[in-house]
Amino acid sequence: MESQCSPSIVLLIICTILIGFSWIGAMAKPQFTAMYVFGDSLSDPGNNLYFHITATKSNYFPYGIDFHDGPTGRFCNGKLIVDFLAELVGLPILPAYENPSTNGENILFGVNYASSAAGILDESGSNFGHRFPLSEQIQNFKNTLNQLRNQMEEDEISKYLANALVLMAIGSNDYINNYLMPQIFKSSHLYSPGDFADLLIKQYAGYLLELHNLGLRKFYLVGNPPYGCTPFQLSIGHAPPGQCISSSNNIVEMFNSRLKSLVLRLNSNFQDSQFVFGPSFQWFFELRDNPFAYGLKVTDKGCCSYGPKNLELLCLPSQIPCANRDQYLFWDSAHPTQAVNQIIAQWAYNGSFSNAYPRNIQQMAQM
Ligand SMILES: *[C@@H]1O[C@H](CO)[C@@H](O)[C@H](O)[C@H]1NC(C)=O
């Protein structure tokens, strides 16, 4: 554009303004028609607040201490990965499905269905009370779709859905609050780790096919993070100094390797669609192994962990968090800080991790 501008001062000014506008236009134009998020507490924007009986709420200070709306139910000091991602692709921060004002034109840029403690299996996380397991999150998406049908023509909707981004990040609670909790859940007595991962992937694949049948085409599927590195696990397990609980991580990796295979299979079965695997293990270990490169200093304790041993999963109401929040990998004993969420969102958006099979979110938008 610059090359077309005449050197005359007036034209130069007009040109500069035009370039400015086209730049703003490029920034503001959403790269997807909408974004739909399915997941657990790493993505929950406050859906669980609307349940009466649940032990997984974080609508109290110091949660949200760095968020413009204060405590919202996000398990973080500030924004979640999905909040940053929405901004990176030019969309507004997505509303929580369960928020009563999430209807009408408020659903046009997408909805966030993620629910803390939720898993792929309906039973996972039931120790915490009410939550939306993945099956109900899919059901809730269908409700949104019915609302969209009142606002759009059918052919318009199919184009709209084909250019929407689905972000799914779920499965941790099938381990943390199911398989790795043998006192409460039977799954580890019934299944070997491999068989359990197969069971999860079978259900997961079924839900993906359901969403594909409804018209969605672009899927970004985040693997399970290395649970054995959370301050909580480090405090109850027995890891050698400076290391993670590898037995927990190995079990969770079985899920991830099967998810990668599923992504390969789905891409060859559905040429009109994109399925991408988000390599959360790789992201996490990059941060943990090179903290200084990212401005981090503490990787094994939460900024707001409780007590010397981090034995509480969550930050307690009105607990005073650490002052230098951006230097911590973990905010509480299980969830990353806003600083880390921003780095990860950027990697998912336009990073070039070898395992981000087969592409990043920016490339998904362009195809
Ligand atoms: C990724 O996007 C950001 C802007 O959001 C930009 O600053 C950065 O240079 C990009 N990185 C790559 C590798 O393209």
CATH of the domain at 72: 3.40.50.1110
Alpha helix locations (H) across 35-171? 81-88, 134-149, 154-162
Indicate which atom in ligand 1 lies nearest the CA of residue 351.
13
Expressed as residue numbers, the domain containing 132 is 31-365
Q: Is residue 125 part of a domain?
A: yes
Nearest to 215, CA basis, from 154, 136, 133: 154
- Residue 31 Cα, ligand 1 centroid: separation in angstroms? 15
Has residue 18 been placed in a domain?
Answer: no
Å from CA of 222 to ligand 1 middle: 20
Q: Is residue 4 part of a domain?
A: no
Q: Is residue 225 in a domain?
A: yes
Token look-up 């969420």 returns: 341
From 23, 349, 350, 353, give the residue whose CB has the most ligand 1 atoms within 8 Å, as the site to mutate: 350
Give the residue, by CA position, lying nearest to ligand 1 atom 11: 350
| Residue 9 domain flag | no
Nearest-CA residue for atom 2 of ligand 1: 350
Catalytic machinery residues: 41, 332, 335
Q: Is 13 exposed, middle or buried (0-12, 13-18, 19+ CB in 10 A)?
A: exposed
The answer to whether residue 110 sits within a structural domain is: yes
| 321 CA from centroid of ligand 1 (Å) | 31
Structure confidence at residue 195 (pLDDT): 98
pTM of the shown model: 0.91
Query: What residues of the chain score a pLDDT lower than 70?
Result: 1-28, 53-55, 306-311, 354-356
Which strands, in side-by-side order, build the sheet including 35-39?
110-112, 35-39, 165-169, 218-222, 274-278
Q: Could you give the number of structural domains in the chain?
A: 1
Give me ligand 1 centre to Cα 330, in Å.
24
Among protein residues, the one with the nearest Cα to ligand 1's atom 8 is 350
Does 11 reside within a domain? no
Question: Checking DSSP bridges between strand 274-278 and strand 110-112, what pairing results, if any?
Answer: unpaired
Alpha-carbon distance of 113 to 140, in angstroms, equals 7
Q: Is the CB of 350 under 6 A from ligand 1?
A: yes
Within 8 A by CB and 6+ apart from 74, the residues are 44, 45, 46, 58, 63, 64, 67, 80, 83
pLDDT the model gives residue 10: 46
Provide the pLDDT for residue 53.
Answer: 66
Evaluate whether residue 74 is within a structural domain: yes
